């Protein structure tokens, strides 16, 4: 256990625990976009910045990736923190002006979009946080999508931006995406994602469409459960 | 069919050269690029299956580095320096002339697959400005009228 100060409050935590988590456990709100419990933190969105004083040195760090230590002094709302966070927000908004989520967050933080940044309208709502990519790789295990190209041309999607052969249509990427960039349309019996259409399986008991056939096949292959045992939806199990 | 088989064979040899080591992916792709002058889509899929690396990861690498091309490249790459010194010495006239003579725009490859035209920033020999580099050979102090003759030597 280590003890330290956060916004003037003495707190204790397991040494090495990530600052963001400790702050949240203590009721302190820090805005984030790319921190998700199911995948490793990457520090992509830079929104979670706070100020940390350790010894004689005070600096801005990303709280989602900062392990807490004995005696540090953390401030989450100083002017410097707000300035950095505001700049990050401005840049995100310039990249993704279509994102309602970003607009709402900015409004809550009292930040106006900067007219001096060039607004880009061809990037969709993707902030390149890589959450979807890591979820697809680490949680689902199929690696159907990635971030290809580089710099201002970087883009999320399947290889060659074509229908992915490995995608199972599970929709986990759309679920974790903080900005709703990934479009998934489910109509009766069919689901469309990343430009590819998937046939849905109807529950043997209630008849409701509950998962893409390809996803069930994948689960069956991965866990060794016979496909027949996966033909009933969760609520009918 | 035959062609595809020899291609696969070549790629297999390249993979073997690196003992199928996944961390050598960049080196493997470099060798493939050198062999075919681009990274054919089927080859990337083939490598993905052979080495058990998701195609997504390979595609990320292939699109990240400028050294890789997903489109077939010409036998010779013409790099026109547009760095400061060359720019001041009129390098843009060279690129205009090349684009016109080869009927392609910068970044593209001629129909006969002879030349790929590229713009680069400073080749590191500013005192020779304006320079272009063709397949590694530096051509110094160029004027646009010299270009046709130089290109003929590469055909
Ligand atoms: S699509 Fe969404 S989850 Fe994926 S990188 Fe972009 S913002 Fe992040
Ligand atoms: S939450 Fe820390 S960088 Fe995104
Ligand atoms: S600017 Fe062309 S070689 Fe330096």
A159 contacts in chain B (CB < 8 Å): 44, 55-56, 58-59
Nearest to A87 by CA among A65, A109, A66: A109
Domain boundary among A62, A77, A108: A108
If asked whether residues A137 and A90 sit together in one domain, one would say no
**CATH of residue A71:** 3.10.20.740
CA-CA distance, A31 to A46, in Å (whole number)?
Answer: 10
If asked whether residues A13 and A101 sit together in one domain, one would say yes
Under 8 Å between Cβ of B76 and B117: no
Nearest to A158 among B41, B56, B64 (CB): B56
If asked whether residues A50 and A102 sit together in one domain, one would say yes
If asked whether residues A226 and A150 sit together in one domain, one would say yes
If asked whether residues A176 and A81 sit together in one domain, one would say no
If asked whether residues A90 and A48 sit together in one domain, one would say yes
Q: Which atom of ligand 3 is nearest to the CA of B130?
A: 2
CATH code linked to domain B76-152: 3.40.30.10
A75-80, long-range: CB < 8 A, 24+ apart: A75/A6, A75/A7, A75/A50, A75/A51, A76/A6, A76/A7, A76/A23, A76/A28, A76/A30, A76/A50, A76/A51, A77/A7, A78/A51, A80/A51
- Domain total for chain A? 2
- Structural domain includes residue A15: yes
- The domain in which residue A135 lies consists of 131-230
Q: What six digits make up the tokens of A140?
A: 């689902």
Residue labelled with tokens 């963001």? A20
Residues B13-49: pLDDT tens digits?
Answer: 999 999 999 999 999 999 999 999 899 999 999 999 9
- Structural domain includes residue A180: yes
If asked whether residues A96 and A166 sit together in one domain, one would say no
* DSSP conformational letter for A230: G
Quote the ligand 2 centre to A42 CA distance (angstroms).
7
Please give the average per-residue pLDDT across B121-138, as a whole number. Answer: 94
| Per-residue pLDDT at B5 | 78
- Structural domain includes residue A219: yes
pTM listed for this prediction: 0.85
A34-38, long-range: CB < 8 A, 24+ apart: A34/A64, A34/A127, A34/A129, A34/A130, A34/A131, A34/A178, A35/A64, A36/A131, A36/A135, A36/A176, A38/A135, A38/A138, A38/A139, A38/A176
Under 8 Å between Cβ of B142 and B132: yes
- Structural domain includes residue A164: yes
Domain boundary among A74, A108, A142: A108
If asked whether residues A12 and A104 sit together in one domain, one would say yes
Residue A32 Cβ < 6 Å to ligand 2: yes
Residues B2-23: pLDDT tens digits?
Answer: 677 788 899 999 999 999 999 9
In this prediction, residue B1 has a pLDDT band, given cuts at 50, 70 and 90, of low
Domain boundary among A77, A108, A139: A108
| Per-residue pLDDT at B66 | 86
Mutate to test the pocket of ligand 3, among B83, B90, B120, B141 (most ligand atoms within 8 A of CB): B83
Strand, helix or coil at A72? coil
- Partner residues linked to A155 by β-bridges: A148
The Cα angle at residue A141 between residues A140 and A145, in degrees rounded to 5: 85
Nearest to A156 by CA among A137, A187, B44: A137
Q: What six digits make up the tokens of A178?
A: 């903080």
- Structural domain includes residue A123: no
- Structural domain includes residue A17: yes
Walk along chain A (237 residues) in steps of 10 and give the mean pLDDT of each run: 95 94 95 94 95 95 96 96 95 93 93 85 93 96 96 94 92 96 91 94 92 94 91 86
Mutate to test the interface with B, among A134, A160, A168 (most CBs of B within 10 A): A160
Cis check for the bond before B12: say yes or no (omega within 30 of 0): no
Q: Judge: B59–A143 Cβ closer than 8 Å, yes or no.
A: no
| Per-residue pLDDT at A122 | 86
């Amino acid at each position: 256990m280590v003890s330290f100060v956060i916004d003037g409050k003495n707190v204790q935590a397991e040494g090495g625990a990530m600052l963001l988590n400790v702050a949240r456990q203590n009721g302190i709100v820090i805005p984030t976009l790319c921190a998700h419990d199911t995948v490793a933190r990457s520090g992509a969105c830079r929104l979670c910045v706070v100020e940390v004083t350790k010894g004689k040195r005070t600096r801005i760090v990303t709280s989602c990736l900062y392990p807490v230590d004995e005696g540090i002094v953390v401030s989450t709302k100083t002017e410097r923190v707000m300035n950095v966070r505001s700049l990050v927000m401005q840049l995100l908004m310039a990249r993704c002006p279509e994102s309602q989520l970003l607009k709402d967050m900015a409004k809550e933080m009292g930040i106006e979009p900067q007219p001096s940044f060039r607004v880009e309208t061809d990037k969709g709502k993707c902030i390149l946080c890589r959450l979807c990519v890591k979820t697809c790789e680490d949680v689902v295990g199929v690696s159907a999508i990635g971030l290809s190209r580089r710099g201002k041309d970087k883009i999320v999607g399947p290889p060659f931006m074509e229908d992915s052969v490995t995608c199972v249509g599970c929709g986990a990427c759309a679920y974790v995406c903080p900005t709703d960039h990934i479009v998934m349309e489910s109509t009766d019996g069919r689901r469309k994602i990343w430009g590819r259409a998937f046939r849905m399986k109807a529950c043997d008991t209630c008849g409701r469409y509950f998962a893409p056939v390809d996803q069930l096949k994948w689960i069956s292959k991965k866990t060794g459960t016979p496909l027949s045992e996966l033909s009933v939806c969760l609520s009918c199990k | 069919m035959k062609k595809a088989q020899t291609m696969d064979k070549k790629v297999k040899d390249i993979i073997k050269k690196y003992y199928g080591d996944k961390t050598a992916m960049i080196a493997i792709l470099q060798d493939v690029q050198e062999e075919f002058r681009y990274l054919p889509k089927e080859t990337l899929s083939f490598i993905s299956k052979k080495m058990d690396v998701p195609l997504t990861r390979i595609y990320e690498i292939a699109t990240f580095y400028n050294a890789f091309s997903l489109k077939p490249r010409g036998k010779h790459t013409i790099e026109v320096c547009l760095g400061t010194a060359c720019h001041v010495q009129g390098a843009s006239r060279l690129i205009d002339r090349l684009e016109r003579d080869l009927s392609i725009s910068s970044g593209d490859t001629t129909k006969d697959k002879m030349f790929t035209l590229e713009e680069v920033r400073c080749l590191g020999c500013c005192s020779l400005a304006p320079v272009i580099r063709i397949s590694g050979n530096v051509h110094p102090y160029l004027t646009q009228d010299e270009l046709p003759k130089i290109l003929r030597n590469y055909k």
